[in-house]
A and B are shown apart, each in its own frame.
Chain A
Amino acid sequence: MARLEKLFSHLENIKEQYFLKNRIAEENRQRENEAAVKIQRRFRGCQVRAYLRHLHKNATLIQKIWRGFTARELFRQRVNTAYFIMKMNFYNKMAVKIQQRWRGYYVRKYVHNYYARKRYLEGVAKKNDLIRRDLEEFAELQKRERERIALEKEEQEKNIQAQRLHFLLSTKQCPGVFNSPFRAEPDEMELRLRRVKPRSAPKERKTPKMTPDLSNLMPNRERLPPIHKKPQGPFRPALEVQQQRLRPLEPSLRVATSITALEEAREELKRQEWRTRVIDQTFLPFSNASQNKRYESLIHTITPFEQVAYGTKHFREEPKECCQGKKPFKTVFTTCHVFDKFGRLYSNAGNIV
């Protein structure tokens, strides 16, 4: 109870104190509030910053790892391309070397082959020499032939001359013109005169021309002109008689053919046949050719006079009955695998990455 009394005495104090404290507190409320806010602010800030830092750290870590990852990828790609370029350069250099060699070989062998050209020119020179020699020989031969013919002709002419001058032959009593006694030996003409045979009876022309003037005006070399211009008496004209007397024999065809003419003709035919026959098979003409000829009718009569279905009703060929039962074509040869390896034959090194 004492305590209660004490307490009750204190009550006013307490109330006063209470109000004082409240007033003080009220006065300090703003300040304390601000201070608390300040403290809280600072603390929250730190908290948030710590949180953000944490977040940033994690984000940085993720990004770091991610960036490293992609950069390594890129780097690998760059390494690949660098490697690829190096490889291609190497291949190109090697290919250039091959092409160099090939082109050199090809040009030297096919386009401008120096040794072949040299050989060709040598060949041309040799051929020219051959031809020149041949032509010269030919010309020589021809010349000799012509000279020989000329000589023979001359010889013949001299013989004819000698035949005409036969009367200049020397006799025992009287030496001829060409056989002068002062010469060591007789002249060439004299020898020719001795050698040559006298001319036979003059050959008459086969069909003597009926020109009555000639015998009177221009006597032949062989005959002297007739004594009387007109023969006395009922004689036939001299020319006619001459012609009749010297008429050559004109045998009839029967007389002229030899007795073995038929056999000879047969022989000739046989020889001709033997010579010219090349093929031993007898030629049989195509006798059936005309029998199997089919009549080709006009287009106008065989096509039906109506609108054609193709083009309006359908555009594709309908399957025909005649081909239905048949099997498809069988190839005779196996297919050639030309394009099987197309695109797959060489390595993929050539594909651009």
Chain B
Amino acid sequence: MTMSQRQVLQVFETYQKARTQFVQMVAELATRPQNIETLQNAGVMSLLRPLLLDAVPTIQQTAALALGRLANYNDDLAEAVVKGDILPQLVYSLAEQNRFYKKAAAFVLRAVAKHSPELAQAVVDCGALDALVISLEEFDPGVKEAAAWALGNIARHNGKLSQAVVDAGVVPLLVLCIQEPEIALKRVAASALSDIAKHSPELAQTVVDTGAIAHLAQVILNPDAKLKRQVFSALSQIAKHTVDVAEMVVEAEIFPAALACLKDPDEYVRKNVTTLIREITKHTPELSQIIVNVGGVAAVVDYLGDSKGNVRLPGIMMLGYVAAHSENLAMAVIVSKGVPQLAICLEEEQEDHIKAATAWAFGQIGRHTPEHARAVAVVNVFPKLLNLYLDTKSSEDLQVKAKKALKSILQKCTYLPALEPLLYEAPSNILKHVICQFSKVLPHDSKARRLFVTSGGLKKVQEIKAEPGSAIQEYINAINSCYPEEIVRFMHIYLTYKYLQKQHHTKILLKEYSGFNTS
């Protein structure tokens, strides 16, 4: 090798080293969010793009990695990636290059697709789907994981994109991925299936037809928490669409193993299990029956006791759905000590939507028969519901639900000690129902009559002003007719006496006050 040749080669070597260093430093800087703005302003995109086509494979891979990290950060950069026509090159090389490059290219695709549906559509339009499907068939689990993650990100946004992903024939490959031993791959495949199945019943049916449910059910017993999160999320997205699919999920014999996961230390695993149970019970009474028979209600009630905050919502809704189907099931919920737990939730939670859900659940439990209404009334929930209904700060949804729940429970409630406090505070539309119930119970029960008078309820009833001929007046007449006339007349006289006394007192007070003022 002559001197000049060596010198010439030296130049090229220096350039290569410089390129390698640049691309490695950019990749490292891109890991920290504060540098990315500066990088973007320095025009890093236009510099990285030609490096993707470099002759040296390491530089290509690192350039792709850097691009991926940049696109991951925010959607402006991702759009810049799309506008820079980088995607077709990546897609082409996905088919050709070695596995490190494939991983990096899939990482870029996933980072671009995750921000918005338009970007995901742009990724699909470059023909990335076929290339990703080919990558899914690779041996290396890292490549498969990156490809599956990218597909999941694409399918996440809307049904059309999901359909495009499914049409590329991805679902059987994802199901195969779940059976692989690597945990990260299983996680990503489960999350991709969940994203695909969540949009419509047809997509869920497609996922089910490839036999995904059996494999997902096998994975439930795995100890990894994040994996369980994804698996339960996938199962619940599948089961939420139709009765048939929900039945298939139940037939996979996930209960009672899923109930054991309700005691998992990870909060989101528990939440996803409860979501799954809720989606199953919401369809038909038979499915709810299955869940009740296997002891699911008790497990969910315990879960409500253990958790706090927003994660309680699926549990509360599940109890409401179970109780809504039939009065047997509502009685089963009551027997499993669901009502005291729901009362605790109503007290502790501050968010309006959780309180609305709890009120709705109470309504569903208590509306069937007097026994149910009694069970709800005993936990002293009426004053709280009334407060929620009357509170001006509650949202409209909460008010409507509280009112409906109160009305439906009151129409069946015969437990008088719980109805009495409502006499004093309720507005007229609720009061109507309360008085109606009193008028139904009092004629038959002498002890209740005695109690009614001594506790001052009769006095309060006389104070109510109602138009003659309206329903309330009829009920009041019915109540008055249970008692001898003298008592009713005495009540009237006593009340007028009290009223005049109050007026007299206020007159004296006003005199004193004005006297105090002037003096």
Contact across chains for A138 and B263 when beta carbons are under 8 A apart: yes
Q: Does B262 lie within 8 Å of A135, measured CB to CB? A: yes
Contact in complex: A124, B260 (CB < 8 Å): no
Secondary structure dominating the interface of B: helix
User: Does B454 sit at the interface, judged by CB under 8 A?
Assistant: no
Find chain B residues with CB under 8 A from A130 CB: 295
Residues A121 and B335 in contact, CB atoms below 8 Å apart: yes
Chain A hits for B336, CB < 8 A: 124-125, 128
Residue in chain A with minimal CB distance to B328? A117
Chain A, 104-128, contact with B by CB distance < 8 Å: what is the 0/1 string?
A: 0000000000000100110011011
A124 touches B259 (CB 8 A): no
Given A135-B259, A135-B302, A138-B263; A128-B295 close (CB under 8 Å): yes
Contacts of A153 in B (CB 8 A): none
Measured between C-beta atoms, what is the minimum distance from B60 to chain A in Å?
Answer: 20
Q: How many A-B contacts if CB must be within 8 Å? A: 52
Contact with A along B284-315 (1 / 0, CB 8 A): 00000000111101110010000000000000
Instruction: Judge whether B331 is part of the interface by a CB distance below 8 angstroms.
Output: yes
Q: Is A132 an interface residue (CB 8 A)?
A: yes
- Nearest chain-A residue to B336 (Cβ)? A128
Check if A139 is an interface residue, CB within 8 A of chain B.
yes
Q: Does B172 contact A (CB under 8 A)?
A: no
Most chain A beta-carbon neighbours within 10 Å: one of B256, B294, B295: B295
B294: chain A residues within 8 A (beta carbon): 127, 131
Question: A138 vs B328: C-alpha distance in the bound complex, in angstroms?
Answer: 30
- B265 CB within 8 Å of chain A: yes
Flag whether B332 is at the interface (Cβ < 8 A): yes
Complex contacts, A142 vs chain B, CB 8 Å: 263-265
CB of B335 within 8 A of CB of A125, answer yes
Contacts of A129 in B (CB 8 A): 298
Contacts of B293 in A (CB 8 A): 124, 127
Given contacts A124-B293, A124-B335, A142-B265, contact A132 B260 (CB under 8 A): no
Chain B residues lying within 8 Å of A21, measured Cβ to Cβ, are none
User: Does A15 lie at the interface of the complex (its beta carbon under 8 Å from any beta carbon of B)?
Assistant: no
Is A131 in contact with B335, judged by CB distance below 8 angstroms?
Answer: no
A158 within 8 A of B: no
Do the beta carbons of A132 and B302 come within 8 Å of each other? yes
**Chain A nearest CB: distance from B10 CB in Å?**
17
- How far apart are A58's CB and chain B's nearest CB, in angstroms? 80
Whether the Cβ atoms of A135 and B299 lie closer than 8 Å is yes
Which residues of chain A are near B297, meaning CB under 8 Å?
124, 128
Is A54's beta carbon under 8 Å from chain B?
no
A127 (CB) vs chain B CBs: closest residue? B295
Instruction: Find chain B residues with CB under 8 A from A117 CB.
Output: 328, 331
Q: Are B265 and A131 in contact (CB under 8 A)?
A: no
* In the complex with contacts A124-B332, A125-B335, A125-B336, A132-B263 CB distance below 8 A: no
Q: Separation in Å of the A116 CB from the closest CB of chain B?
A: 10
Residue of A nearest to B263 (CB): A139
Q: How far is the CA of A146 from the CA of B266 in the complex (A)?
A: 13
Nearest B residue to A118 via CB reads: B331
Of the candidates B259, B265, B332, which one forms a contact with A146 in the assembled complex, judged by CB atoms under 8 Å apart? B265
| Cβ–Cβ contact B332 & A121, under 8 A | yes
Given contacts A128-B298, A146-B265, contact A135 B335 (CB under 8 A): no
The 10 closest A-B pairs by CB, nearest first: A131-B295, A128-B298, A139-B263, A127-B295, A124-B332, A128-B336, A125-B335, A121-B335, A135-B263, A131-B298
Q: List 4 other contacts, CB 8 Å, given A132-B302, A139-B263.
A: A121-B331, A127-B293, A128-B295, A131-B299
